């Protein structure tokens, strides 16, 4: 078969102007690209690294309204998110599934307090609700959450939200955009913005693999680069004031034995005033998250969990589980940076947990459109709003958004548990469909080839971190897969031994990062 790289960049060489150029291959950028392409606009999306290689693959894996935002009184944000949750459950049924959460109550009056708040959650969901929240007695909570400390337990509340695989949804959105006619390219960085008569008119792109540069014209350019948004804004206006303040959230992955069962635990009040989750995810338990201000970060790529964040999560979960995980029990740990919008009037003493999780769409005097903030649950709404604005700025032909009912790539006619959806049978057509990559994972060698041929995987880490979730589930086991994945990549992409060696070194560095074997970020 021809190399998947043979015509990867061909669309950049035809000289035709694009209607929409989206910079950034995370949740907001991919959502914008899908919306633009669905309206019939000629759309190009570029990502400097891999799709969802930053914050968008490091979430808590929840599609939710945000129970804790009720306490902050942000009812509009919760309502919008609950509606968006229902659209994702319908349009990506192979990726998003209902999940039950239980809030234990140990103190007097807690069950009534939590129950009242969650009835408001039900009310805001309205007809988009999954199931009504319910009060549980002590024995029902113990049955729902094996491994929960039962001493002093008085009962609890069960409610429902959605769970998903963030990187898999990102890849699915990329494929959906391509199905609709968009061009989506990873490892293509924007080095300069082009202007015509003082207005943004395109960009200069550099291919990370070859070093080649391409000049592309576009009627409108959208900056959807997450925590990097201020950097792109400064390419437009060097003196522009920063818009974002980064907040770090980390997660730990431990074996399922610490919280057996299929229901999630929500701890409603931690020592820092947040909520914390222990969630069953792909045969493991995901613990998170933190909210740590990181204004000191000079390098926004690949943040490390801080030692005090790891200790905080372990200390918090130790207070509620009978079996207490230690650092030795951590299979994987990862950190993401939230691109929080910092209001101009915010106090320097304000914590990042108080900053807005809502998104904003802004237009610079030169016509650069920036979308910032937000979260995975509302990615579709963000995309709709930013393309509405882009069409106005560029004078594009008017067309309504189609994404509220748009089925995403691979969505089956009836719900299924395979994240590949209707693509799953294609694995049987590929070499290695009967050979497991590693006993710890459900991935075959054919799954690696599929990622290269159909999902734009370009490196070992792309495959182990985002086309599969091996690095996120068990980093040590994933490290032992590096050599074989490199051999398959070399075969599929005709790579030199030197290139494969460099990829392997980078993947081993990442595996050590996921195993907490590197020093904390400065």
The domain total for the chain is: 3
One domain for residues 264 and 333: yes
Nearest CA among 389, 400, 396 for reference residue 17: 396
Residue 80 within any structural domain of the chain: no
Point out the least confidently predicted range of 273-287, 338-352, 365-379, 480-494: 338-352
One domain for residues 238 and 376: yes
One domain for residues 331 and 237: no
pLDDT at 272: 81
Residue 519 within any structural domain of the chain: no
One domain for residues 313 and 228: no
One domain for residues 188 and 334: no
Q: pLDDT tens digits, residue range 439-481?
A: 999 999 999 999 999 999 999 999 999 999 999 999 999 999 9
* pLDDT over 60 at 212, yes or no: yes
pLDDT at 346: 37
Question: DSSP 3-state assignment of 365?
Answer: coil
Residue 90 within any structural domain of the chain: no
Question: DSSP 3-state assignment of 312?
Answer: helix
Strands annotated E in 315-471: 332-341, 359-363, 369-373
One domain for residues 191 and 322: no
Residue 468 within any structural domain of the chain: yes
Secondary structure, 3-state, 162-210: EECCHHHHHHHHHHHHHHCCCEEECCEEEEEEEEECCEEEEEEEEECCC
Q: Report the DSSP beta bridge partners of residue 216.
A: 203
What is the rounded CA–CA span in Å between residue 394 and residue 366?
12
* pLDDT over 90 at 300, yes or no: no
Question: Which domain covers residue 450, as residue numbers?
Answer: 421-514
Name the domain boundary from 381, 405, 429: 405
Confidence of residue 345 (pLDDT cuts 50, 70, 90): very low
* pLDDT over 90 at 520, yes or no: no
Q: Which helix (H) or strand (E) holds 14?
A: none
Which residue's structure tokens are 């820092």?
A: 272
Q: CA distances (Å), 22 to each of 243, 386, 389, in order?
A: 19, 10, 13
pLDDT at 353: 44
Query: φ and ψ at 281, to 5 degrees?
Result: -150, 115
- 10 Å CB burial of residue 267 (0-12, 13-18, 19+) is middle
Q: Taking the complete model, does pTM exceed 0.85, yes or no?
A: yes
Q: pLDDT tens digits, residue range 390-426?
A: 999 999 999 999 999 999 999 999 888 899 999 999 9
One domain for residues 228 and 154: no
Point out the least confidently predicted range of 226-230, 346-350, 409-413: 346-350
One domain for residues 265 and 220: no
* pLDDT over 50 at 484, yes or no: yes
* pLDDT over 60 at 344, yes or no: no
What is the rounded CA–CA span in Å between residue 307 and residue 281?
24
Confidence of residue 351 (pLDDT cuts 50, 70, 90): very low
One domain for residues 272 and 387: no
Q: CA distances (Å), 421 to each of 224, 390, 406, 497, in order?
A: 28, 32, 15, 35
Q: What is the CATH number of the domain that holds 334?
A: 3.30.9.10
One domain for residues 374 and 497: no
Residue 9 within any structural domain of the chain: no
One domain for residues 251 and 151: yes
What is the rounded CA–CA span in Å between residue 255 and residue 87?
32
**What does the mean pLDDT of the chain come to?**
93
Q: pLDDT tens digits, residue range 10-40?
A: 999 988 999 999 999 999 999 999 999 999 9
What is the rounded CA–CA span in Å between residue 355 and residue 496?
47
Residue 345 within any structural domain of the chain: no
Assigned token pair, 384: 């709709």
Q: What is the CATH number of the domain that holds 213?
A: 3.50.50.60
Which ranges of 395-454 does DSSP label H, i.e. alpha helix?
A: 445-454
One domain for residues 237 and 254: no
Confidence of residue 6 (pLDDT cuts 50, 70, 90): low
Do 81 and 272 contact (CB within 8 A), yes or no? no
Confidence of residue 495 (pLDDT cuts 50, 70, 90): very high
pLDDT at 1: 41
Q: How do strand 43-46 and strand 183-185 relate by DSSP bridges?
A: parallel
CA-angle at 40, arms to 51 and 403, nearest 5°: 65
Residue 393 within any structural domain of the chain: yes
Residue 521 within any structural domain of the chain: no
What is the rounded CA–CA span in Å between residue 478 and residue 507?
9
Angle (deg, nearest 10), helices 379-394 and 75-91: 100
């Amino acid at each position: 078969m021809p190399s998947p790289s043979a015509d990867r960049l061909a669309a950049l060489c035809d000289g035709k102007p694009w209607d929409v150029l989206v910079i950034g291959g995370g949740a907001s950028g991919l959502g914008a690209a899908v919306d633009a392409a669905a309206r019939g606009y000629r759309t190009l999306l570029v990502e400097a690294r891999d799709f969802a290689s930053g914050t968008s693959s490091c979430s808590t894996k929840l599609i939710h309204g945000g129970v804790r935002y009720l306490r902050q009184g942000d009812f509009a944000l919760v309502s919008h998110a609950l509606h968006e949750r229902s659209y994702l459950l319908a349009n990506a049924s192979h990726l998003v599934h209902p999940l039950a959460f239980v809030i234990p109550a140990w103190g007097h009056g807690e069950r009534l307090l939590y129950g009242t708040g969650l009835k408001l959650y039900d009310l805001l969901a309205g007809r988009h609700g999954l199931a009504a929240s319910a009060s549980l007695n002590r024995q029902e909570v113990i049955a729902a959450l094996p491994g929960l400390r039962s001493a002093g337990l008085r009962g609890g509340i069960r409610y429902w939200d959605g769970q998903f695989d963030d990187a898999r949804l990102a890849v699915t959105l990329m494929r959906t955009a391509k199905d609709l006619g968009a061009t989506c390219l990873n490892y293509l960085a924007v080095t300069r913005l082009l202007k015509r008569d003082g207005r943004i008119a395109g960009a200069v792109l550099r291919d990370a693999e070859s070093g080649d540069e391409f000049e592309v014209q576009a009627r409108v350019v959208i900056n959807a680069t997450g925590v990097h948004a201020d950097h792109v804004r400064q390419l437009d206006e060097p003196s522009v004031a920063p818009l974002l303040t980064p907040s770090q959230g980390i997660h730990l992955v431990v074996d399922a034995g610490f919280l057996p069962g299929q229901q999630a635990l929500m701890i409603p009040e931690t020592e820092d005033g947040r909520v914390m989750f222990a969630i069953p995810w792909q045969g493991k338990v995901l613990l998170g998250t933190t909210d740590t201000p990181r204004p000191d970060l000079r390098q926004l790529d690949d943040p490390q969990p801080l030692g005090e964040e790891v200790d905080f999560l372990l200390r918090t979960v130790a207070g509620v589980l009978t079996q207490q995980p230690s650092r030795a029990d951590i299979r994987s740990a990862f950190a993401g940076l939230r691109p929080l919008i910092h209001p101009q009037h915010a106090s320097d003493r304000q914590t990042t947990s108080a900053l807005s999780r809502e998104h904003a769409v802004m237009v610079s005097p030169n016509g650069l459109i920036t979308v910032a903030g937000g979260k995975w649950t509302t990615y579709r709404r963000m995309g709709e709003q930013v393309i509405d604005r882009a069409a106005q700025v560029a004078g594009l032909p008017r067309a309504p958004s189609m994404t509220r009912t748009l089925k995403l790539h691979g969505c089956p006619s009836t719900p299924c548990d395979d994240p590949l959806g209707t693509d799953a049978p294609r694995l049987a057509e590929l070499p290695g469909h009967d050979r497991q990559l590693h006993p710890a994972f459900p991935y075959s060698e054919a799954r690696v080839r599929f990622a290269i041929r159909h999902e734009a995987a370009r490196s070992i880490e792309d495959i182990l971190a985002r086309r599969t979730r091996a690095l996120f589930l068990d980093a040590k086991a994933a490290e032992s897969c590096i050599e074989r994945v490199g051999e398959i990549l070399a075969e599929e992409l005709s790579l030199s031994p030197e290139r494969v060696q460099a990829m392997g070194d980078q993947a081993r560095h990442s595996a050590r990062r996921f195993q907490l074997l590197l020093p904390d970020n400065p």
